[in-house]
Structure 1
Amino acid sequence: MNDLKTLYYILSAEFGPLSEWWVAGSPFERIAGAILVQQTRWENVDRVLSALNNRNLMAPEAIVTLPLEELEEIVRPTGFYRNKAKSLKAVAEYFTANPIEGMADKPQQKLREELLGLRGIGNETADVILLYVAGKPSFVIDAYTKKLCGCMGIQGNYAELHKLFEDGLPRDVWTYQHYHALIVEHGKRYCNKKACVNCAVKIIQARSCRQ
């Protein structure tokens, strides 16, 4: 059994299914969240998402018609607000012309390339949208995943780590979502100086030393 599968089973045993780890009111709310969370804390994103919902702006068509300056003020709490407002506008324009419901019918690679062509969407954000909105099996490599891999002695750029996880796991949307949720939960709990010694990586390393 490879280390990635071992880690998955250890994290699953500790945290369980985590089926409700990312609650969103709509697919577009998840898309907006994926853009706004870049380089900020989720608490700040949650404030902005609530503001958008309270003003009935949580839809591509609503964002497209909203003046840019007004959108900038709404997203200001997430930082880099001018860039994020422009990114939300670009994404909203795309999904106005290409309804979110149609993503499931597009080939995964073609959809990924289209998303990467939009302002403000890089590899991680594209994979979040593919996995959590379009229902495509595309593993997300976020900061917690990179850190965890580094602690396990696994090095690589985004594409290399992305391929490593997809080659080492069943190609399944639920498994990818669950594993990503487990890594996020693990990172929140253990990726700090006080709790680092108790993390799952230490368990795997200890097992390897005994073999």
Structure 2
Amino acid sequence: MSEELKRQLVETVVSHVKLREEEFVAPVVKRSAGLFELLIAIILTQNTSDKNAFKAYYNLKGRLGIIEPQSILSLSEEELSQLIRPAGMHRGRARKLIELSRSLLGHPLEEISRMSFEEARKFLMDLPGVGEKTADVLLLNMGKPAFPVDTHIKRIAARWSIGKSYREISEWFRKNFPPTRYLEIHLKLIQFGRDYCRAQRPRCDVCPVRHMCPWPGAGGRKKA
């Protein structure tokens, strides 16, 4: 499939999908929270739905008020794990949040805003519980040129022959679109994956790109 067709598929999705931003944890939390609290909220989305992550985040927010390293460390591991239980894997996740809080105690996360993208990404990925997607989501929401790849985007990218690995997919989007569009494209592709391009029972019959899609299961265009 040509690069031009891949870009057209993305552009068509972006133009058709009406974003429901309130369903995404990071854009909602960043409206009123600092970077540490935003990072905690993003970690709560790992390997779970935003719906479950919201429940865990609001449990923690209701208990602590402002979520910062000191307030996290004021909780016992057991209490913390119960507060974030809705996000799943709560005991292991609680241990990671405590490790993260200890590592950032006295070191404001806001310092990374002065770093280059590469420096900030490396700093974040050296922290407990922070992998490349978590780092990229935080950086993207800070306005840095990151393009995170979640399970929905990875599935869509595979079906459209954009790439298979995290790095390959992320670099394709960074190469083909300007940084000012990364956040919108990232969120709308996730929503498209949730609403149409699902892993099971994709809704190809009503998909806005069904006549362009090269995926054999789409029922529209069959050839790349």
Query: Quick one: distance in 1 between partners of 2:19 and 2:52?
Result: 26
Counterpart in 2 of 1:183? 189
CA shift for structure 1 position 4 = 4.1
CA contact (8 A) 2:125 2:131 kept: yes
1:147 equivalenced with 2:149 (yes/no): no
Match in the other structure for 2:28: 23
Q: CA deviation digits over 1:115-162, x for unaligned, max 9?
A: 111222111111111111x32111011101111011112332111111
CA contact (8 A) 1:7 1:200 kept: no
Name the stretch that deviates more: 45-54 or 136-145.
45-54
TM normalised by structure 2 equals: 0.81
Q: 1-side partners of 2:111 and 2:9: how far apart?
A: 35
Q: Amino acid of the residue matched to residue 14 of structure 1?
A: H
Q: Distance in 1 between matches of 2:183 and 2:91?
A: 30
Cα displacement (A) at 1:83: 1.6
SS at match of 1:205: coil
Q: Aligned AA for 1:10?
A: T
Structure 2: distance between partners of 1:186 and 1:166: 19
Identify the residue that residue 14 of structure 1 maps to in structure 2.
Answer: 16
- TM-score between both structures, scaled by the size of structure 1: 0.85
Counterpart-to-counterpart distance in 2, 1:199 and 1:3: 16
Q: Provide the residue aligned with 1:113 in structure 2.
A: 122
Question: How many matched pairs?
Answer: 208
Quote the Cα distance in structure 1 between the aligned partners of 2:19 and 2:194.
16
Partners in 2 of 1:59 and 1:180 — Cα distance? 27
Q: Give the CA RMSD over aligned residues.
A: 2.6
Identical-residue share of aligned pairs (%) = 26
Deviation for aligned residue 1:200:
4.4
When residues 210 and 72 of structure 1 are mapped into structure 2, their CA distance, relative to the original with a 3 A threshold, is: closer
> Higher relative contact order at CA 8 Å, sep ≥6: structure 1 or structure 2?
1
Unmatched runs of 5 consecutive residues or more in structure 1? none
1:162-173 correspondence to structure 2 within 5 Å? 162-170=170-178, 172=179
Distance (whole Å) between structure 2 residues aligned to residue 58 and residue 108 of structure 1: 25
Structure 2 unmatched ranges of 5 or more: 215-219
* Alignment map for 1:82-97 (pairs within 5 Å): 82-97=91-106
Which residue of 2 is the match for residue 5 of structure 1? Answer: 7
Q: Which residue of 2 aligns with 1:77?
A: 86
Q: Which has the higher helix share?
A: 1
Partner amino acid, structure 1, of 2:158: G
Hey, what's the Cα distance between the residues in 2 that align with 1:57 and 1:95? 15
Is the alpha carbon distance of 1:110 and 1:197 closer, same or farther for their aligned partners in structure 2, counting shifts above 3 Å?
same
Q: Which residue of 2 aligns with 1:100?
A: 109
